[in-house]
Structure 1
């Protein structure tokens, strides 16, 4: 028999069999895996939200560009009906709308870049840390 510290009571138990130690280790690994999967899920939901916002901003850019096309057509109509060169004013509005579309596209691209890569990086880092901790514990256990 091996002297084992009982985590639940804080005392030392001399009656822990190898089978019981393996059972406890399996339970702890199972809990660890569940916790890491939960972290991965939370992280992926956050990245999904960012991807949704980026996609929405790209959609806004497309709508603004469509209005730009509408303003271009309006410019052609106004040119026929004006005495003062109002077409210049419409042209300025057209440029402003297309510039707004460009800004929305840039903001959407930034949001999509923040969402990529769709890998739960915190969870991956946590798993690496857990694996390193287990390796260290095994090495130290062999020395003892």
Structure 2
């Protein structure tokens, strides 16, 4: 920021050549790009920190949900064991969980195929910015 503000405070003389002025503009654009990248890094770091905390909370909720399902499954096995052999009751509850796991796996796999590995819009705007920086008068 200091390089831009110090140049802005210096008036350009009327006899400055177009090349010198273009050099100043190019330098300012490069500085602006660097500062934008720095700002993006800071913003990404802040958002990653918030996301990490939220992920920790989701992890805790997931573990609590796992414990609920574990004890609910145990209760189902014990309830079925009142009307049939305990081994068969456990096998039935296990089969239900196997079907649920298969369905969730398939849905997750289908959804994962739609994920784009790179930020397409950002890449496109950065290309446009670079093209403008090379040819600012177009």
TM over 0.5: no
Q: Which has the higher contact order (CA 8 A, sep 6+)?
A: 1
TM-score under structure 2 normalisation? 0.43
Instruction: With the length of structure 1 as denominator, give the TM-score of the two structures.
Output: 0.42
